[in-house]
Amino acid sequence: MARIRKEAAPAARRLDRFLDVVERLGNALPDPTTLFAAFAVLVVLASGLFAQLDLVVAHPATNEPIRPVSLLTVDGLHRILTNLVGNFTSFAPLGTVLVAMIGIGVAEFSGLIGTLMRLLVLNAPRVLLTPVVVLCGVLSNAASEVGYVLLVPLAALIFKAAGRNPVLGLAAAFAGVSGGYSANLVLGTIDPLLAGLSQEAARIVDPGYVVSPAANYYFMAVSTFLITGLGWWVTERLAAPRLAATAAGAGPTELDDGARSADDDVAKPLTPAEKRGLAYAGMVFAALVALLLWGLVPADGFLREQGTGSVLHSPFLQGIVALIFLFGVLLGIAYGIGAGTIRSDRDVVKGMGQTLSTLGGYMVLVFFAAQFVAFFNWTNLGLIFAVEGAEFLQGADLHPIPLFLAFILLSATINLAMGSASAKWALMAPIFVPMLMLLGHPPEVTQAAYRVGDSVTNIISPMMSYFALIIAFVQRYIANAGIGTLVSLMLPYSVTFLVGWSALFAVWLALGWPMGPGG
pLDDT tens, position by position, 346-380: 999 998 888 777 677 778 877 887 888 788 778 88
Max Cα–Cα distance, the chain, nearest Å: 74
Give the pLDDT of residue 353: 87
pTM exceeding 0.85: no
Q: What is the pLDDT of residues 91-132, one digit of tens each?
A: 766 776 688 778 878 888 898 877 877 776 677 677 888 998
User: How confident is residue 9, by pLDDT bands cut at 50, 70 and 90?
Assistant: low
Number of neighbouring beta carbons within 10 Å of residue 504: 17
Q: Show the DSSP H helices in 90-216 as ranges.
A: 92-110, 112-122, 129-140, 146, 152-161, 166-174, 190-202
The residue extents of the domains of the chain are 15-511
Mean pLDDT throughout 399-414? 88
pLDDT of res. 414: 77
- Residue 7, pLDDT above cutoff 50: no
Q: Quickly count: other Cβ atoms within 10 Å of residue 442's Cβ.
A: 20
How many CB atoms are located within 10 Å of the residue 185 CB?
15
Summarised one tens digit per residue, pLDDT across range 33-79 is 787 788 889 989 988 998 888 777 776 556 678 788 899 999 999 99
Let me know the angle formed at the C-alpha of 383 by 210 and 413, rounded to the nearest 5 degrees.
Answer: 80
pLDDT tens digit string along 489-500? Answer: 888 899 999 999
Q: Given a cut of 50, is residue 254 above it in pLDDT?
A: no
Could you tell me which residues are beta bridge partners of residue 472? none
Give the C-alpha separation, 139 to 147, whole Å.
9
Q: What is the mean pLDDT of residues 311-338?
A: 83
pLDDT, mean of residues 421-440: 83
Nearest to 410 by CA among 443, 464, 446, 459: 446
